């Protein structure tokens, strides 16, 4: 039986825009209060908070740079300080800079690991220290199954490490905390590209169509409503990971 989420409180990193925004709205429509983290998108975060409050639940915004470890270490306490106890942690925030195999630097890899892997791990650990029971959902990438994205090497290093951390957290934080992940595929184009970029790639997918942020949000809701799932990854990618496994 699915859990009733009414009155629960979720903290979502990078929640002001794109897939994070869709996830925050899906949670709100399920009766969840939402703390929206942002780095630079203050206006979008505040607009989203107003939209959530018009739906019914409460909403707050909080700023932090996930690349600054001293800020990460205090972020869960800051969030629960404004909202009260947290029940759900959604580690959605990510960075997606280009870095090729031939040009990637150690500094780029370290920064990706800090934002895409260490921050979710540290936030999850502190969340579990303060929460007896709850859910954590980490955002991965569909291409973790084949290891490669030759144009985003540092990013993939961070996402692979987050995949490992997800499994370790699921074991170590049980039985009170359930830890799972979603791995989106062709959902939104990268910053600076249009939908035509995704349209040019959809023919490679088994389902031959691109997705939407709402599909990812639905998967997140399924996981945070579950009572007997942990350590799993849901690929919301139209089957892309199946095809790339074959080609990898």
Q: Known catalytic residues? A: 18, 141, 155
CA 218 to chain centre: 13
Q: Is 214 exposed, middle or buried (0-12, 13-18, 19+ CB in 10 A)?
A: middle
d(CA 164, CA 153): 17
Q: What does residue 174 show for φ and ψ, rounded to 5 degrees? A: -70, 155
Other C-beta atoms closer than 10 Å to the C-beta of 198 total 18
H helix intervals, the chain: 18-29, 42-55, 69-83, 106-113, 119-130, 153-172, 195-199, 213-225, 240-247
Nearest to 139 by CA among 235, 69, 41, 9: 235
Q: Positive or negative CA dihedral for 183, 186, 187, 193?
A: positive
CA 197 to chain centre: 22
d(CA 110, CA 18): 25
């Amino acid at each position: 039986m699915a859990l009733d989420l009414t009155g629960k409180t979720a903290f979502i990193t990078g929640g002001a825009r794109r897939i994070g925004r869709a996830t925050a709205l899906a949670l709100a429509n399920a009766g969840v209060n939402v703390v929206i983290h942002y780095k630079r998108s203050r206006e979008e975060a505040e607009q989203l908070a107003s939209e959530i409050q018009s739906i019914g639940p409460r909403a707050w915004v909080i700023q932090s740079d996930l690349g600054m470890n001293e800020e990460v270490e205090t972020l869960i306490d800051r969030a629960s300080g404004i909202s009260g106890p947290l029940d759900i942690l959604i580690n959605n925030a990510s960075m997606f800079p280009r870095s090729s195999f031939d040009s990637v630097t150690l500094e780029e890899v370290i920064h990706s690991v800090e934002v895409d892997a260490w921050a979710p791990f540290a936030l999850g650990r502190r969340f579990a220290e303060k929460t007896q029971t709850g859910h954590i959902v980490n955002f991965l990438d569909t291409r973790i199954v084949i290891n490669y994205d030759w144009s985003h090497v540092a990013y993939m290093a961070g996402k692979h490490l987050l995949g490992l951390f997800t499994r370790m957290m699921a074991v170590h934080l049980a039985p009170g905390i359930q830890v799972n992940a979603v791995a989106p595929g062709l959902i939104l184009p990268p910053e600076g590209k249009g939908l035509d970029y995704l349209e040019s790639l959809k023919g490679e997918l088994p389902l031959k169509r691109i997705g939407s942020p709402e599909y990812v949000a639905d998967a997140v809701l399924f996981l945070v409503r579950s009572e007997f799932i942990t350590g799993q990854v849901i690929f919301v990618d139209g089957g892309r990971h199946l095809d790339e496994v074959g080609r990898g």
